[in-house]
Amino acid sequence: MPAQSLNHPPKSLWLMTAAAAALLLPGTARRAAADEPNSPAVRCESLPERMAGHWPDGSTRVISVHWLSEGPQAAQGPGEPGSLIIPAHCDLVGSVQERVGEGGQRYAIRFHLRLPGDWNGRFLFQGGGGSNGVLGDALGNYSAVAKPGILQGFAVVSQDSGHDNAVNNDPARGGVLVFGLDAQARANYGYASLPIVAAAAKAALRQYYGAPPRRSYFVGCSKGGEEGMVFAQRYAGEFDGIVANAPGMSLPRAALSEAWDTQALAALVQTTAGTALPFAKLSSAFSDADLGVARDAVLAACDAADGLKDGLVGDFTHCTAKRVDPELAARRCRGAKADGCLSRAQMQALDRMMAGPHDQGGHALYSDWPWDAGIASPNWRAWKMGGAGGTPPSLNVVLGGASLASDFTTPPTLLRADPQTLLDFLLAFDFDRDAAKIYATGAGFTHSAWEDMSARSADLGAFRRHGAKMIVVHGVSDPVFSINDTLAWWRDVDHLNRGQAARFVRVFAVPGMNHCGGGDATDQYDALTAVMHWVENAQAPDLIVATSRPRSAHPGRSRPLCPYPLVARYAGRGDPEYAQSFACR
């Protein structure tokens, strides 16, 4: 779900937070000596002149260009925040299609391109996150267990998808989601900005290096994962390899699920009918101890199904409510509510949430969800109900609610960007009356939000014919995009390709992992290198080795991530903490 405008503690949501500030550090530009007329630095400084007449979109304007010497650079990304020693490179910021839109808002598609002096011949498009609206650091920092793309020699581009959170921000009309009131801004956010930025970056590469990229790759998570899907479905010839992690391929439908979950949780703490529920009270629907009880029930029901009790539900597709409900019932409070048990209402709320949103006729509005041990993690809680006392706030409310109102329904609903207003909106949402608005047009919008902001087509024929490859990695305990939706999409792709989809697209589930990371899981992996080997060496990934974070409950643990529908199963011998003791079967 869009998670760019507000932040929260879990580091696993690194793709949901980014800042454009301090990307161009004063005093770092270095001009080459006069006797080096074709040096990378001189070519960098003259790039705007060299690009005149060569930009694919004639409205392109260079905002800034600098040659940056090797040195430290603040970086956003997975793992611990800090500085990287970035190699010398040409740093360019550009703008395309500047315009005045709805309500007098000034819009443009901005992009940030880094061109290393020591180029490896590859191009990397760095996906965005949440509602975007930030330029991105264009460092290609995609994994805690791999060097950022710029350190590997990639030319890297990032973009803001056509709106700027610092400029396009109206607290009385959705805050940074005000772009949802502008039809073109919606389209740019959903898909239209992507090929424009890719084309601009590749054109600059050709002028700067004198040659096109040898290979082109995309990597992103969440909204960035959806952007990878957009490229594969709409612009199939742009990339040779795509990594689409936790893809928000069904953004508007997932927003319905966020409203559904909010109503289920609110029912647990609403004490007086007809009165507004105080926002801070939502977080008391489950205590941390309550979520731990739910996790224990899931593990008791399903942990051993993959052949090993290890705190992970490897065989998650068979972990259903039918298996879990008896274990929940065994943990139901027999008297007053206490920390070591769950109330009947809490058990019913969990069942309702995991079943996914439906209308009164029983028709699914999004997807169901797997039962998994990551339900007890801070990341899962942050999305569903927020921290104790409402800090941090529920992301389903402040991000999902804002997006559903401003961006994902037509006509958009104008709301103040404050948590209480957004909670009131979600609690009043009628799934029989209002859910259809994600497919509606009118009021100045010729395309529905679903048409503009989803990427769920199973038709990847052009992508396959291009010879491109895709890897999708998704956490089983993702609290905002259900892996069950991703797997249903893959089965559709496989059906269209007569059971041969694995020849060009594979999905890897991560048991216990939340959104883009987090949870008690082996959530550290390098899918970009895997897709590069697939593209360049014809080595299809039969598994991806993943490790746990140093501060996890099982530091140093490793597991193979297996291509769906295979599951990592213990081989019966060897240390169960290491990947080599498992096989994908």
Distance between CA atoms of residues 140 and 138, nearest Å: 6
End-to-end Cα spacing for the chain: 32
In whole angstroms, how large is the CA radius of gyration of the chain? 24
Residue 383: both structure tokens together: 């999305």
Q: Note the residue count of the chain.
A: 585
Contact between 523 and 579 (Cβ < 8 Å): no
Residue 429: both structure tokens together: 């949402």
Which of 515, 520, 548, 554 does the annotation list as catalytic? 515
User: Helix H segments across 446-544?
Assistant: 449-453, 461-465, 483-496, 527-537
Distance between CA atoms of residues 28 and 65, nearest Å: 11
Residue 226: both structure tokens together: 């959806």
Max intra-chain CA distance, the chain: 85
Bridge partners, 99 (sequence order): 107
Contact between 277 and 425 (Cβ < 8 Å): no
Which of 368, 478, 494, 526 does the annotation list as catalytic? 478
Cis check: omega of the bond before 411, within 30 degrees of 0: yes
For 147-174, letters b (16+ CB in 10 Å) and e give bbbbbbbbbbbbbbbbbbbeebbbeebb
Query: What single DSSP character describes residue 400?
Result: I
Distance between CA atoms of residues 567 and 374, nearest Å: 18
Q: Is 478 a residue of the active site?
A: yes
Torsion, CA 82, CA 85, CA 89, CA 95, rounded to 10: 0
Distance between CA atoms of residues 227 and 400, nearest Å: 18
Three-state SS sequence of 79-116: CCCEEEEECCEEEEEEEEEEEECHHHCEEEEEEEEEEE
User: Helix H segments across 374-517?
Assistant: 378-384, 395, 402-406, 419-427, 449-453, 461-465, 483-496
Q: Among residues 371, 379, 308, which one has the least CA distance to residue 560?
A: 308
Q: Is 358 a residue of the active site?
A: no
Distance between CA atoms of residues 545 and 381, nearest Å: 27
**Burial level of 474, CB count in 10 A (0-12/13-18/19+)?**
buried
Residue 331: both structure tokens together: 């943990």
Query: In this structure, is the dihedral angle defined by the CA atoms of residues 219, 222, 224 and 227, taken in order, positive or negative?
Result: positive
Q: Is 448 a residue of the active site?
A: no
User: Helix H segments across 210-343?
Assistant: 223-234, 251-269, 288-302, 321-329
Query: In this structure, is the dihedral angle defined by the CA atoms of residues 96, 97, 103 and 104, taken in order, positive or negative?
Result: positive
Three-state SS sequence of 402-436: HHHHHCCCCCCCCCCCCHHHHHHHHHCCCCCCCHH
Which of 158, 222, 250, 394 does the annotation list as catalytic? 222
Query: What single DSSP character describes residue 133?
Result: -
Please give the positions annotated as active site. Answer: 222, 478, 515
